[in-house]
Chain A
Amino acid sequence: MSISDKYHAIRFAAVEKIEKIKEKPHVLVGTATCGRAAGALTILDVFREEADKHQLDVIIDEVGCMGYCYAEPLVVIAKPGFPALCYGPVDEGTARRLVADFLVNDDPCYDFAIAALEPNDEFPTFEDFPRGVIEKKIILADCGLIDPDDIDHYLARDGYAALAKVLEMEPYAVIEEIKSAKLRGRGGAGFPTGVKWERCFQAEGSPKYVICNADEGDPGAFMDRAILESNPHQLIEGLIIAAYAIQASTGYIYVRAEYPLAVARLRNAISQAREKGLLGDNILGSDFSFDVIIFQGSGAFVCGEETALIKSIEGKPGVPDHRPPYPATCGLYGKPTVINNVKTLSYVPHILRKGADWFRSIGTENSPGTAVFALAGKVVGTGLVEVPMGTTIRELVYDVGSGIKDDKMFKAVQIGGPSGGCLPESSLDLPIDFDSLQEAGAMMGSGGLVVLDEDDCMVEIARFFLDFTQKESCGKCTFCRLGTKQMLDILTDITQGKGSLEDLNILQDLAEDIKMGSLCSLGKTAPNPVLTTLKYFRDEYEAHINEGRCPALMCKDLITYIIIPEKCSKLCDVCIGSCPTEAIYTRPDMLKAIHLDKCVKCNNCMVACPPQYKAVIKVSPPIVEEKEETVEGGKEDE
């Protein structure tokens, strides 16, 4: 049997199985980590119990993440005769209703539905909303719609077709196709993937290795986790193709140990692929043999750096080396090694199946394809989004993300995590691609995109990221080990109102030197959050220094919580109950007030104060307590 015959036999069996599923009502519950956090496992149980109770012949499957995090837990119901509908957020009551009304009877409960998955006459689809118009899903397309624990779901959607095609091509022709697609690495800086493969292909030494970097360490990004949990085979197929292109026989998936579900789903996917002859010796009957080892990263952000990741697999501390030599020529165990990010490899099967021209037709000339962002922070539609490169930040925040929460004012977006930067309102119309972001001082990084509003202090954001990189610095080189510590100390002083204007100059100089002088890209990019905030939000730094004031009312040392007597209702005690330190007391006139020395600024009372009063406010600069008042107030105990 030829390679393609073998593949078609496997695929045919899968399609038959899936067709059978489609004859029955099919319930898909999103149980990726994010769904679970929102209670998806309980919902899954409710569906199973209720279906049993009603003795229904339905199929209930766990799937990954569709990316609509704001609406978790998400459920898709496909019942023959109705369009497939997506519901969320689904609570236990809704789940029971859906079983009783839709599965037992024929009422699709449109009230609870978000959108339909396919065009129909009854209900709008995702494509009918602004987000759907802008989004262009390639690597997220099947996430949340296929069962990640069943390879047949992937096979039935043309999974592994690219692999079958590739195995009949010359390895170098595969590299040419990727080069012609101009695929750039989605791990951060956007290095051309085809060039990387070519260098490794041409390098002398054997065996060669391929490594998938799934050590997602950016503290605001979760797309790699979502992809691993939702569609592991897409990545595995990409990895096998990469291995074939450079003729490697062993591959590693370096995945964070903090992602236990991703590890479990990957393990299962790998063993299913082996069973089908898609991994292991003589893949699909060809001469090519390849297998994958899962390596669990032990929690070190610096291992996102290629040379550090390699050290880690070799059993050493993840301390980067000077490059060159690059891993493509001298990598794991000194052998030629290709290291690609999860997203990069996930594009590979699509490119080989649909061609380089198709891929280049999406996105911009120098950054073709799509960009995946984890949209988080003060935006309404948080979630995982995939848009063509060249989409503007404004479209991302306002159309895809449906704007800022609670009608607050937009202040900035933080793109690219600790290596990226904060871009202000004036950058809203910046088309996002690798080069434009770098020019603006940010970076694509791993694709974290946190939206910040008027309540977010830019100095504090810079301090937060510096604190992160400083803690994650491996400590090898002088600039990163000591330079980031110096910068962090200065920033901490400023957020506590103890900074000076001279500090800002030192901060700027240190940032520039660390950027130029550090050994690896963790250090070289660590100053970006500080440099961009200094550039675009210098006035906030100056307010902290000159006036002891935090304009966003965020820096704890520079604010005081007070209760406005005119707004406080005498009859309400909610704030007192909410206070963890008994700092709130009732004055003789029954109004409430806060002991400033006892207040730990936990924000509870502000949240607790009923919206009709909104009597608790924050002020900055902080109020210095007047002694007499405290004594008087302290006696109020009754």
Chain B
Amino acid sequence: MSKVNITIDGQQYQVPAGEKLLWAALDCGVYIPHLCANKDKERPDASCRLCFVEIEGFDAPVTSCTQEVFEGMVVKTRTARVDRLVQTAFELLLSNHKLRCGKCPQNRQCELQKISRERKLKLKLTRLRPLLTEEKAVDDSTDVFIYDPNRCVLCGQCIWVDHKVVEVGAIGFINRGFKRKMGTFGDVPLAESRCTQCGECVKVCPVGALVFKEKTE
């Protein structure tokens, strides 16, 4: 496989040609925040808007999950503009997220907490207003796991696994805009849907939205 030379934050690396920058950087040990990225997806979602970087010669920050590496690419993962965008995207996600980490079964295993640690971002709202004014009901209908929509970040990982890996087709994105959510046909509880309770979707959830029941006890 051919390789290209790139520079990330002053360090030089050799990475596989044709690879998306996000994966190349992660393989080199450089952390870039991300939630929706999935190496196996045909076309990147680019929906979480956390993996911004700046590339020399580009006039605006770009999402690293969509940007292919090229020979001589010079990348900066931390600039004033990148930090500002990442902070705002992160705060926006928090503004619609149940923020009681102590009570969350995924405490210490959550990607949001990792981003907060890596980028020194607070895990509470200081600037924006909380949008999660009414808590939505938690779905604990299955024997294996629970679904807490109040913790969902809409990364789409579970839906992709459901459709493309286990090929069950129980869940999908429903509604539009602010009301967009992961749900079932007719909004029925998971146990009443086509869900086989295989638990594969739970394994890919980066936050505490889908959690195995054994963890919640």
Contact = CB atoms under 8 A, between A and B. Distances in A.
Interface of A: 300, 317, 319, 321-322, 470-479, 481-483, 485-486, 489-490, 506, 509-510, 513, 516-519
Contact of A474 (B48, B92, B177): B177
B39 interface: no
B92 A473 contact: no
Contact of A478 (B47, B128, B179): B47
Nearest to B156: A476
Contacts of A519: 46-47, 49
B95 interface: yes
B189 to A, nearest CB: 22
B131 A477 contact: no
A478 B89 contact: yes
B177 A473 contact: yes
A475 B61 contact: no
B55 to A, nearest CB: 14
Contact of A476 (B43, B47, B85): B47
Given A513-B84, A516-B61, A517-B85, A482 B131 contact: yes
Interface residues of B, number: 34
A485 B44 contact: no
Contacts of B61: 516-517
A304 to B, nearest CB: 15
Contacts of B95: 482, 486
B177 A513 contact: no
Interface centre among A472, A475, A483, A506 (most CB of B within 10 A): A475
A517 B91 CA distance: 13
A474 to B, nearest CB: 6
A517 B176 contact: no
B47 to A, nearest CB: 5
Nearest to A490: B129
A471 B177 contact: yes
A321 B65 CA distance: 13
B207 interface: no
Contact of B127 (A300, A481, A506, A517): A506
8 contacts: A321-B43, A474-B176, A475-B176, A476-B180, A482-B93, A517-B89, A518-B49, A519-B49
A479 B179 contact: no
Contacts of A482: 92-93, 95-96, 131, 178
B52 interface: yes
Interface string B187-209: 00000000000000000000000
Contact of B176 (A317, A477, A483): A317
A100 B143 CA distance: 82
B44 A322 contact: yes
A481 B88 contact: no
B131 A475 contact: no
Contacts of A509: 88
Interface string B175-186: 111111000000
Contact of A477 (B47, B88, B128, B129): B47
Nearest to A300: B176
A432 to B, nearest CB: 26
A294 B150 CA distance: 41
Given A475-B180, A481-B180, A486-B129, A510 B173 contact: no
